[in-house]
Amino acid sequence: MLPLYNRILLKLSGESLMGDRAYGIDPKMLEQYALDIKAITDLGVQVAIVIGGGNIYRGMNEAETGIERAQGDYMGMLATVINGMALQAALEKTGVKTRLQSAIKMEQVAEPYIRRRAMRHLEKGRVVIFGAGTGNPYFTTDTAGSLRAIEIDASVILKGTRVDGIYTADPEKDKTATRYEKLTFAEAISKGLKIMDMTAFTLCQENNLPIIVFDMNTPGNLLRVVTARGMGTMVS
């Protein structure tokens, strides 16, 4: 099996790590993700990962909590580092070499984010996990994923979700919803499809970086996306 891509950025949501739980990290999901990522690194695919923090902390309503938006966003960034550390541990348990880089300095647990160093790690076959988003409040981890993918010259962003692509409506609520196989950026915008936030989406559009939305929760799907066309929905 030959991979279609040399270097990918895998974007995972923090919520996906919860599995069937209401909060936190499900060890079974962590193990599954680690094995799926190992399967593509074994093919020689260079893998960078951006993971959200919504399973630990999601930016809350300022009016309800009294926590201002910027402070809440920094709290969310720290949550992504916790998830990055958990994924790093799970990957290294399977024998995959990793590096965790953080956009906020915390030398005891992660390297600072340095673009050229990240690219060198990837060239050496290490999985690089980017934590703490962009390091700035008011930006989502989707935007961090798009930015890092462009910076490291990734071939594609693989956005792992709970559904197997982009649909005409929410397939979990509308049984008549149909899946798109391919979309252009312009079509996705005109149809009002919420694939990523607009900042992240525009970054991809302006840099001709394709996005594939697929179901990450089914074991083996990541390998299928990397080796076979027609999985999930491609936006390009």
What is the per-residue DSSP string for 15-84? GGGGTTSSSS--HHHHHHHHHHHHHHHTTT-EEEEEE--TTT--PPPHHHH---HHHHHHHHHHHHHHHH
Strand order in 156-161's β-sheet? 111-112, 98-102, 127-131, 46-51, 7-12, 156-161, 211-215, 233-235, 182-183
Q: Taking the domain 7-235, which CATH number applies?
A: 3.40.1160.10
The whole-number pLDDT of residue 121 equals 98
Number of helices and strands (H, E) in the chain? 8, 11
Predicted confidence (pLDDT) at residue 175 exceeds the cutoff of 90: no
Helix 141-151 / helix 198-206 crossing angle, nearest 10 deg:
20
Residue 60 has pLDDT above 70, yes or no: no
Q: How many CA atoms lie within 13 A of 108 on its CB side?
A: 0
The ranges assigned to domains in the chain are 7-235
Q: How far apart are CA 94 and CA 107, in angstroms?
A: 24
Per-residue b or e along 81-91, where b marks 16 or more CB atoms closer than 10 Å to that residue's CB = bbbbbbbbebb
Helix (H, G, I), strand (E, B) or coil at 129: strand
pTM: 0.95
Per the CB < 8 A criterion, the answer to whether 139 and 80 are in contact is no
- As a whole number of angstroms, the distance between CA 122 and CA 152 comes to 9
- Checking if the pLDDT of 195 tops 90, the result is no
Q: What is the pLDDT of residues 200-225, one digit of tens each?
A: 999 999 999 999 999 999 999 999 99
Q: Which of 82, 93, 79, 80 is nearest to 37 (CA)?
A: 93
pLDDT band at 28 (very low <50, low <70, confident <90, very high): very high
